[in-house]
Amino acid sequence: MTNRVSILGCGQIGETILLGAVNGGLDKNQISISAHSKKRVDFLTEKYGVVGNTDNNTAMKNADIIILAVPYPAVDNLLKKIEADIKPNTIIVSLIAEISLSDLQTKIPNHSAIVRAMPNIGSKVGFGLTLLSFGNNISDSQINEIESFFALFGKNIIVSDDQQHNMAPLSSSGLSYVLYMTDALIEGNAIRGISRDISLQMMQNILSATSALLKQNNGQNISDLLHSMCSPGGSGIKRIANLDRKGVKSAFVDAISEDI
């Protein structure tokens, strides 16, 4: 990948993308960042070896891809300041969950190559999941460039703009739910007298094995796969039944399906 990438507003999500891109092999000389304070810029430039600036217009100079990672309240002011300096073929990628593609197009009416992206924290370790939605006027070659960039640190799923909202609870927070479950299982093991270090090793293996099984049995009903592991009348199915009685599955379903 030869594109120059500028991340404007390099806070937590911006740094996640930065780390994923650097670890994914993007040359540090191809990346520039901006942040709200010199202290933050100095921290990021020293840690990652990229060019940084507190001035967004300077940070995005010569960029082929501009990634908007600022908080929602700051986006209007940012776009007003940088719009005149955006090159015609530059791709604008918004990580701002509150802004749809149509809203973004309204804010920068003279620019057509726009993308909405929703990455997750797995990008830090090369297992990111990014939902990508493309504006109507973006070219095929530009789509390929964006897919290549986000593929540096994980998997991409192309979705319609209106699917972003419905898919976000799982794509963005799914790791949190799995960590929550993992913490509960380790705590339960601690009550049985098993050290947390050993339980963590057990869970790392269990999670890796679960991922491998899901991949191997792609297309198989998850309930069928689950119950194929539990013998009738055995302790496993009894423990699953106990979780069902206590509404654990329903709680996870509600966590994903309900708007909060």
Distance between CA atoms of 74 and 9, rounded to whole angstroms? Answer: 9
Tracing tokens 């996640």 back to the chain, one arrives at 16
Signed CA dihedral, 66, 69, 70, 75: sign only: positive
pLDDT of residue 32: 97
Find the length of the chain: 260
Domain range list for the chain: 5-161, 167-257
Distance between CA atoms of 226 and 236, rounded to whole angstroms? Answer: 10
Q: Which of 55-64, 203-212, 214-223 has the lowest mean pLDDT?
A: 214-223
pLDDT band at 109 (very low <50, low <70, confident <90, very high): confident
DSSP string across the chain? ----EEEES-SHHHHHHHHHHHHTT--GGGEEEE-SSHHHHHHHHHHH--EEES-HHHHTTT-SEEEE-S-GGGHHHHHHHHGGG--TTPEEEE--TT--HHHHHHHSTT---EEEEE--GGGGGT-EEEEEEE-TT--HHHHHHHHHHHGGGEEEEE--TTHHHHHHHHHHHHHHHHHHHHHHHHHHHHHTT--HHHHHHHHHHHHHHHHHHHHHTTTS-HHHHHHHTS-TTSHHHHHHHHHHHTTHHHHHHHHHHS--
31-71 pLDDT, tens digit per residue, is 999 999 999 999 999 999 999 999 999 999 999 999 999 99
Equal CATH topology for 5-161 and 167-257: no
181-201 pLDDT, tens digit per residue, is 999 999 999 999 999 999 999
Fold of 167-257: ProC C-terminal domain-like fold (1.10.3730)
pLDDT of residue 259: 85
Q: Does domain 5-161 have CATH number 3.40.605.10?
A: no
pTM: 0.91
CA-CA-CA-CA torsion for 70, 71, 76, 82, nearest 10 degrees?
A: -10
Contact 53, 40 (CB under 8 A): no
> Which whole number is the average pLDDT over 222-250?
92
Q: Which tokens sit at 231?
A: 């013998």
Distance between CA atoms of 112 and 137, rounded to whole angstroms? Answer: 6
For residue 17, give the nearest of 149, 140, 114, 147 by alpha carbon: 149
On the question of pLDDT at 220 being above 80, the answer is no
